[in-house]
């Protein structure tokens, strides 16, 4: 008989025995439900030896800011509603200056990962990760659930992103849990944030990040308004850092193309592209072009995974 409490009790025991009595643990809340829940669980076990930080990193973690509209409300949700002591570090300038001129996708991931830890100013022994692992649950599959074990383990983007001299031991209290869609309905958001959504581009160049944020907000809000948010597994805009020509009024414009990505999936390992109705796409395209200065082409990504990945880099 499979009970969630048994899994959590087992995890609590593991955390207690792993962490000892004077070691410190860090959790970088970069946005998303999983890391928040993981942090809450660990906090219940080790109290103030858990150091949670929300790094305001030039709004790369736009998802979280987008839900709450401003940083103060993110912090109040953590501190007052969840009783999770979180320190907010404003590191926008540092993140942008480290990312300046960087176009290589793996470098971007490494820089974001390293900067997160560096900004906390701590030398912790452990890192809390909220990653869920559908792939390691085989021995705990709820009987009769119909769930099957997939044999490919998802690579650990965030930890792989950390440099060698910063290897931390991992605490993953949710690793035996599936995401129950009725409980955790937010779309996944990658740890490196919008840094990986301007493929092969320097995210500090021009207004690219701001343009991407605005286009993404219009697109995802339209998905919510159409009642499609829960049908779609993940949706986001990608900004392609190439100069494109358009015409608005009688003027020639120079801007960027934005690509709309939406997928359905079970666990992100494989995915199908989502087929929107023409009217929905036409509305989103109009809204983006009319409201986001700097965009004059809107494209739709119609590739599944494989051969594509979910993110563009």
Nearer to ligand XMP, 232 or 281 (CB): 232
Does the annotation list 33 as a binding residue?
A: yes
| Choices 34-42, 51-59, 174-182, 188-196 (CB under 6 A): range interacting with ligand XMP | 188-196
Does the annotation list 31 as a binding residue?
A: yes
Does the annotation list 56 as a binding residue?
A: no
Nearer to ligand XMP, 12 or 300 (CB): 300
109 to 128, contacts with ligand XMP by CB under 6 A? 109
Asked if 263 contacts 232 with a C-beta cutoff of 8 angstroms, the reply is: yes
x/- map, 228-267, ligand XMP, by CB under 6 A: ------x---------------------------------
80 to 99, contacts with ligand XMP by CB under 6 A? none
Residue nearest to ligand XMP (CB): 157
Smallest distance, ligand XMP to C-beta of residue 191, A: 3
Q: Which of 134, 190, 201, 255 is close enough to bind ligand XMP by CB under 6 A?
A: 190
- Sites of contact with ligand XMP (CB under 6 A): 109, 157-158, 188, 190-192, 234, 268, 305, 309-311
């Amino acid at each position: 008989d499979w009970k969630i409490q048994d899994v959590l009790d087992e995890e609590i025991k593991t955390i207690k025995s792993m962490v000892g009595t004077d070691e410190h643990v860090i959790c970088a809340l970069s946005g998303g439900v999983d890391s928040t829940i993981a942090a809450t669980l660990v906090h219940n076990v080790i109290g103030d030896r858990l150091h949670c930080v929300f790094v305001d990193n030039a709004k790369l973690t736009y998802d979280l800011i987008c839900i709450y509209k401003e940083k103060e409300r993110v912090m109040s949700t953590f501190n007052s509603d969840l009783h999770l002591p979180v320190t907010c570090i404003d590191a926008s300038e540092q993140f942008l200056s480290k990312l300046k001129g960087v176009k290589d996708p793996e470098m971007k991931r490494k820089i974001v990962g390293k900067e997160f830890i560096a900004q906390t100013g701590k030398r912790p022994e452990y890192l809390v990760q909220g990653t869920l692992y559908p792939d390691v649950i085989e021995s705990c599959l709820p009987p009769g659930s119909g769930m099957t074990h997939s044999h490919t383990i998802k690579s650990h983007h965030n930890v792989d992103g950390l440099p060698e001299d910063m290897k931390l031991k991992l605490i993953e209290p949710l690793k035996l849990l599936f995401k129950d869609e009725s409980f955790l309905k937010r779309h996944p958001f990658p740890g490196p944030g919008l840094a990986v959504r301007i493929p092969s581009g320097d995210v500090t160049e021009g207004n690219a990040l701001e343009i991407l944020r605005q286009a993404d907000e219009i697109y995802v809000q339209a998905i919510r308004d159409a009642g499609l948010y829960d049908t779609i597994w993940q949706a986001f805009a990608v900004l392609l850092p190439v100069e494109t020509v358009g015409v608005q009024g009688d003027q020639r414009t120079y801007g960027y193309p934005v690509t709309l990505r939406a997928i359905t999936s079970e666990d992100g390992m494989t995915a199908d592209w989502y087929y929107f109705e023409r009217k929905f796409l036409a509305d989103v395209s109009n809204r983006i072009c009319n409201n986001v200065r700097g965009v004059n082409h809107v494209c739709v990504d119609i590739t599944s995974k494989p051969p594509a990945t979910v993110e563009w880099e």
